[in-house]
Amino acid sequence: MKKITFLLILLLSSFAFAQNPIITGYIDSTCPGADGRTLEIYVEGSVDFAGWNIVRQSNGGGFTTNIDISALGTVNDDFVYITNDETILLQEFGITANVLVNGSINSNGNDGFQISNPDNVVIDRFGEDGIDGSNTAWDHLDSYTYRLNGATPNAGNFNPANWLFGGVGILDGEGLCNGGDGFDTVVPFGTFSPTGSGNASIVTSADVAGLFYFEGNFDTINAEGSFTVQGLNLTEDLSVSSPANFELSLTSQGTFSNSLTLTQTSGEVPATEIFVRLQTGLSAGFYDGDITAVADGLTENVNVSGEVLSVTPLLDVQTGDILGLNYDLGEGPSEEESFGVEGLFLIDDINISVSENFEVSLSTGTGFTTSVDILQTGGNASATVYVRLASGLTEGPYSGSLEVSSANATSETIALSGNVLGELTSDMVITGVFDGPLTGGTPKVIELFVIRDISDLSVFGVGSANNGGGSDGQEFTFPNVAASVGDYIYIASEQPNFNAFFGFDPDYTSNVANNNGDDAVELFQNGEVIDTFGDIDTDGTDEAWEYTDGWTYRLNNSGPDGATFVLNNWEFSGPGENEDDTSQGAATNPWPIGTFTTTLGLNNFDSTSIKIYPNPVSNGMLTVESSTTADLEVQLFNMLGQRVLTSKALGSINVSDLNTGVYLVRVIQGASFITKKIVIN
């Protein structure tokens, strides 16, 4: 009787064990939003899942998140799937039966699962309790894991040796959801066999494309790609062979050959990354073929393609246009600007040339000339290039270009510009600002006065400082035209109301004049402030210099004041003084437009006190003598109006560096000057 009882218990125990489900796989989906993360369970026999739970562990925090799977009902000898997105599961695997949707299944590749029965007994487990799976043997981030055939439920005693792992990141870019091959080409869902004798299968990842190198210049990085292969339920080792013009290796940039053998253990070849590359020494052209993975009469193909590109010389000039190569008159050359130049697949050296008035070198501070060569070796060349504005130039702006060229390569041209800046002068001054009463607060006007003849107005400009916000720099630049001593220049915000109010047109219209009565104005020469109205860092509202709906005007024989506002050099109408006026002529307190006078520009010292000789100059030396003891300055201008020499020393002045021709000599004493014409032979 005891023997019968023991046999009955053994049979019942075996029967009960056969009814337990087993966790067989999980995919950490790489679809957008991680949609399609899915746990697979296999049921051998029959199980009613009422009261059963999947319990998830997150980041090693213990198995705490319960997922009730009672809705699966009774399942007989089949797979069941718990997923966060049944649409993705259908799209990627074609699975529709025994599917339960639950967002809590949304596990990362470092999390674990266990399945427990209605009595909360752990039947099977994937993952170590209290352990974050990152960088462990069971890490499956952006990958999958699958149970080896013949495995049985482990009652909570997890052993990674009973699992197959795809390798971290193997699903990156895969999946129909990502425009790749379906996950079912990589993840072996539905293949687990409890008897250990499932069907043999070979699983490979996506095709390899885009390999390349340039003919005669083998590139170990770009010529190489990789794919994965794995085998399940095999009785033979897995043989992998490359097509013609390609070769294989188990290590990146390692030893390559035409074939590899992957040894199966207990019927399994774990997911293995295999590197494939184009062979060296190929001619220019496109190459493709199929890599074959063969075992147990099965063959899986991975297409591989690449291109050997024909060689075309290439130039890489690592800069845009180069501006601001400036220096003060007589103090050249300018500061250098540097940039890199590289060449690939060259058949000749790289030549770099600059246009007139600029210089180039391959060394900082020395070796500057109009053309340099970068020598190529083996088709490659690189160097740092230095460029500058040449010394000895006359005052004014300069523009040109730098060209980089080599035989059969596309040339590159870089624009260059610079300026030889003359000394700051007192040749122009701000004399008035007007905030008009017509529609829109117009006309708004800035008046300027020319103290001395100006051959090129373009070295001057105007800027506004609004609401005490500080300088905005030069916002308006005059054109390259001349102006004469005594000229008044008017810049208005617009023309119609200026003419309607004052009866004539402004010289220029610009937003720089669109100022309210609390804004300041700056006058620039060669980018530096030479005169200022108002405090640029203060809103003029309720200040002594406010001119809202009114005007301000400079007192005679004052200014220019540089970057410092001198309040006592100005008179003011007071705010609102002109708000009801319709014209200058009808105003009760009109703006004293065009009335500023100064003696600064008068040529009022005796020309007989100055002697300039010889004329013509034939020995390279010009003599300037004065009978006065006052400080004098001598300036020479060519016939284009460009200043070419400045000297504060009298006596003999060396002019041997100047070209032959006609020049104007200006001798300045304080605020007065005389001008004479000379010839240099």
- For residue 160, pLDDT over 70 is answered with yes
**pLDDT reported for residue 557:** 83
Residue 273 falls inside a structural domain = yes
| Nearest Cα residue to 303 out of 232, 252, 227, 231 | 227
- For residue 603, pLDDT over 50 is answered with no
- For residue 42, pLDDT over 90 is answered with yes
Query: How many other CB atoms are found less than 10 A from the CB of residue 320?
Result: 9
Residue 589 falls inside a structural domain = no
Residue 10 falls inside a structural domain = no
Query: How many other CB atoms are found less than 10 A from the CB of residue 155?
Result: 12
- For residue 93, pLDDT over 50 is answered with yes
* 10 pLDDT tier (thresholds 50, 70, 90): very low
Q: Tokens standing for 46?
A: 């029959």
Same domain, 436 and 414: no
560 vs 489, higher pLDDT:
489
**Residue 272 structural domain:** 201-309
Averaged pLDDT, 326-339 = 87
Averaged pLDDT, 441-447 = 96
Domain with residue 332: its CATH number is 2.60.40
Q: 232 and 187 in contact (C-beta within 8 Å)?
A: no
Q: 44 and 53 in contact (C-beta within 8 Å)?
A: no
Mean of pLDDT over the chain: 89
**pLDDT reported for residue 369:** 97
Same domain, 282 and 376: no
- Within a 13 Å sphere around the CA of 431, how many CA atoms are in the beta-carbon half? 25
Same domain, 37 and 177: yes
Give the span between the Cα atoms of 99 and 79, in whole angstroms: 9
* Sign (positive or negative) of CA dihedral 329, 330, 331, 334: positive
Give the span between the Cα atoms of 525 and 534, in whole angstroms: 18
Last residue of a domain, one of 185, 218, 245: 185
Burial 439-451 (b: 16+ CB within 10 A, else e): eebbbbbbbbbbb
Give the span between the Cα atoms of 110 and 131, in whole angstroms: 9
**Cβ burial, residue 27 (10 Å; 0-12/13-18/19+):** buried
Same domain, 26 and 123: yes
pLDDT for 69-86, tens place per residue? 999 999 999 999 999 999
Same domain, 46 and 137: yes
Residue 601 falls inside a structural domain = no
| Nearest Cα residue to 291 out of 283, 282, 300 | 300
**pLDDT reported for residue 4:** 32
Residue 593 falls inside a structural domain = no
- For residue 567, pLDDT over 70 is answered with yes
pLDDT for 182-224, tens place per residue? 999 889 999 888 886 667 888 887 789 999 998 888 989 999 9
Last residue of a domain, one of 421, 448, 475: 421
Kindly calculate the radius of gyration of the chain based on its CA atoms and give it in whole angstroms.
Answer: 44
**pLDDT reported for residue 422:** 66
The phi-psi region of residue 384 (left if phi > 0; otherwise alpha if psi is between -120 and 50; otherwise beta) is beta
DSSP code of residue 173: T
Same domain, 180 and 32: yes
Last residue of a domain, one of 362, 386, 421: 421
pLDDT for 267-287, tens place per residue? 888 889 999 999 999 999 999
Q: Which residue has the tokens 């996506």?
A: 206
Give the span between the Cα atoms of 515 and 625, in whole angstroms: 49
Same domain, 447 and 412: no
- CA 203 to each of CA 245, 268, 401: distance values in angstroms, whole numbers, following the listed order: 24, 11, 60
pLDDT for 238-249, tens place per residue? 999 999 999 999
Same domain, 618 and 555: no
Averaged pLDDT, 350-374 = 97
pTM of the full predicted structure?
0.41
Same domain, 539 and 621: no
* 670 pLDDT tier (thresholds 50, 70, 90): low
- For residue 145, pLDDT over 70 is answered with yes
240 vs 108, higher pLDDT:
240
Burial 186-199 (b: 16+ CB within 10 A, else e): bbbbbbbbbeeebe
What backbone phi and psi angles, to 5 degrees, belong to 71? Answer: -65, -15
* 2 pLDDT tier (thresholds 50, 70, 90): very low
- For residue 5, pLDDT over 60 is answered with no
Residue 257 falls inside a structural domain = yes
Q: Of 90-94, 134-138, 420-424, 651-655, which range is least confident? A: 420-424
- For residue 17, pLDDT over 60 is answered with no
| Nearest Cα residue to 123 out of 222, 259, 216, 24 | 24
Same domain, 322 and 439: no
Same domain, 379 and 462: no
Residue 107 falls inside a structural domain = yes
Please give the helix or strand (H or E) that residue 490 lies within, else none.
strand 488-492
**pLDDT reported for residue 590:** 93
Q: Which residue has the tokens 């990146």?
A: 252
Domain with residue 615: its CATH number is 2.60.40.3080
Give the span between the Cα atoms of 325 and 59, in whole angstroms: 60
529 vs 488, higher pLDDT:
488
Split into its structural domains, the chain has a count of: 5
**pLDDT reported for residue 1:** 31
Strand order in the sheet with 298-309: 208-214, 298-309, 285-295, 238-241, 259-262
The phi-psi region of residue 221 (left if phi > 0; otherwise alpha if psi is between -120 and 50; otherwise beta) is alpha
Residue 617 falls inside a structural domain = yes
Same domain, 94 and 59: yes
- CA 306 to each of CA 165, 219, 233, 245, 286: distance values in angstroms, whole numbers, following the listed order: 30, 12, 33, 10, 6
**pLDDT reported for residue 643:** 79
**pLDDT reported for residue 260:** 97
